[in-house]
Structure formats: structure tokens, C-alpha cells
Amino acid sequence: MSVNIYNIVQYYHFLISEFLTEDSINIDCTCGNGNDSLYLCNAMKGKGFLYAFDVQEEAIKKTQKLLLKSSKFNNYKVIHDSHVNVDRYILKKVQLAVFNLGYLPESKSDISTNPDTTIFALEKILKILKLKGYILITAYTGHDKGLERNALFDYLEKLDDKLFKVVNHRIININNYTPELFIIHKMHETD
Ligand SMILES: C[S@@+](CC[C@H](N)C(=O)[O-])C[C@H]1O[C@@H](n2cnc3c(N)ncnc32)[C@H](O)[C@@H]1O
């Protein structure tokens, strides 16, 4: 596969395939229309387990419908709850978690992710992340003038580099609110 490093969705889907390990527990923290959950399910090839969260009933229904129609596998659970409650549902170590921040695309709803709850959930997932596991976060800057992206950046740049490495992937010579990807890799056990 040749990697499209300029299309953020294609790029993080490529990374998902690279970062998954056999029989792993994985999380879609913002399942929305279900596209990332579907990609994860098919990339996991029926092994391990996927938990998908969203606060909106509309998103839960769309994700369930898409997975039922298009996933070749059924090793997943779609959960109508906030990702801040991730530790109520997942008691095992996690290999990969993805956040695709912002609003539900093609919806009239004004519910969006929020910097405080995103960082709160992130802190919980950093604790249950496996050694060598990854978190991928896609942040958009157009809808909130970069508020959530900036809060996330401030939080991530202070993570202890002996425990986590954090990479920020973005196109820097385009001035039109290009989306950004943050890649967090756990380098050392935190407990
Ligand atoms: C950009 S969309 C996600 C797109 C999705 N990954 C896809 O493939 O279609 C962001 C989603 O985050 C959800 N969201 C907002 N706050 C949340 C929270 N605290 N916990 C879980 N989901 C949340 C929204 O309801 C929305 O559906």
C-alpha cells in the first residue's frame, strides 16, 4: 500500500493497520457515523475486541447500522456513553484508541467533543494503554478556532517523554484550517 500522507483519514487508517496487534482490545472513542469503527473491525479481522463510544443516539444508531451492514466480523460493542466513562466498560489493557474530534458530520446536532472531557478521557486511556500501544487523535481547527486542538497540544507537549512519545502530523504550508493528527506511543509502563 502506498501511504497518502496528506489525507488525514487515509493516513490514520494506514497507521491503524500498522499499529494493531493480534487479539488486541481497541477503542473508537468517538464513533460518529461509524467509518472508523468499520475500518478498525475489518483491520482486526475478527480477532480481539473493539469498543466504540459516542454520546449521541444518532451516532450510535448509524454506527450499529453500518457495522451490521458492512463489517465482516461481530467482535465489537457500540456503547451509548461518553468516552470519559471508558474505565466502566474496559478492564483490560488497550493496544489502540482513536479519537476523531469535533462534530458528527452531516448532522444538524451541535454536540461536539470538548477539550476538558477529551483530556479527561485521554488521561484514563493513557493508564490502561499497553506498553507499545498507541492513541491516534484527529483534531480539526475550523469549527472552534483551534480551541480543542490547542488545549490538547498544551497537554500532550507536557507528557513525560520517558513514558510517552508524541508526534504531531500536519501540513504546515497550507493556511486553511487543515486537520491535524496526534500520535501517542507508550514507551514505558506508568504504574
Ligand atoms: C467527528 S465525529 C466522529 C466521526 C467518526 N469517527 C466517523 O468515523 O464517522 C465526533 C463524534 O464525537 C462524539 N462525541 C462528542 N463528545 C463525546 C464524548 N464525550 N464521548 C464520546 N463521543 C463524543 C460526537 O457525538 C460525534 O459523533
Q: Which pLDDT does position 104 carry in this prediction?
A: 92
Pocket probe for ligand 1: among 40, 55, 116, 122, the residue whose CB has the most ligand atoms within 8 Å is 55
124 lies in a domain?
Answer: yes
Kindly list the averaged pLDDT for each block of 10 residues, start to end, along the chain of length 191: 89 97 97 98 97 97 98 97 98 97 90 96 98 97 89 97 97 86 95 71
If one counts the domains in the chain, the total is 1
Q: CA distances (Å), 101 to each of 52, 93, 129, 162, in order?
A: 14, 23, 20, 27
Q: Which pLDDT does position 178 carry in this prediction?
A: 84
pTM (global) more than 0.95: yes
Contact 53, 81 (CB under 8 A): yes
Contact 94, 128 (CB under 8 A): yes
Collapsed DSSP state (helix, strand, coil) of residue 101: coil
180 lies in a domain?
Answer: yes
2 lies in a domain?
Answer: no
136 lies in a domain?
Answer: yes
Q: Which pLDDT does position 1 carry in this prediction?
A: 61
* Closest C-alpha residue for ligand 1 atom 5: 32
191 lies in a domain?
Answer: no
Residue 178's domain is classified under what CATH number?
A: 3.40.50.150
Which residues form ligand 1's pocket by a CB distance below 6 Å?
30-36, 53-56, 59, 82-84, 100, 102, 104, 111, 113, 117
3 lies in a domain?
Answer: no
| CA separation for the pair 119, 177 (Å, rounded) | 21
| CA separation for the pair 87, 107 (Å, rounded) | 28
Q: Which pLDDT does position 141 carry in this prediction?
A: 86
Q: Which pLDDT does position 176 carry in this prediction?
A: 76
Residue reference for cell 475489518: 42
The closest alpha carbon to 13, from 98, 114, 85, 116, belongs to: 98
Q: How far is the CA of 114 from the centre of ligand 1 (A)?
A: 10
34 lies in a domain?
Answer: yes
* Closest C-alpha residue for ligand 1 atom 15: 113
* Domain span holding position 120: 8-186
141 lies in a domain?
Answer: yes
| CA separation for the pair 67, 52 (Å, rounded) | 11
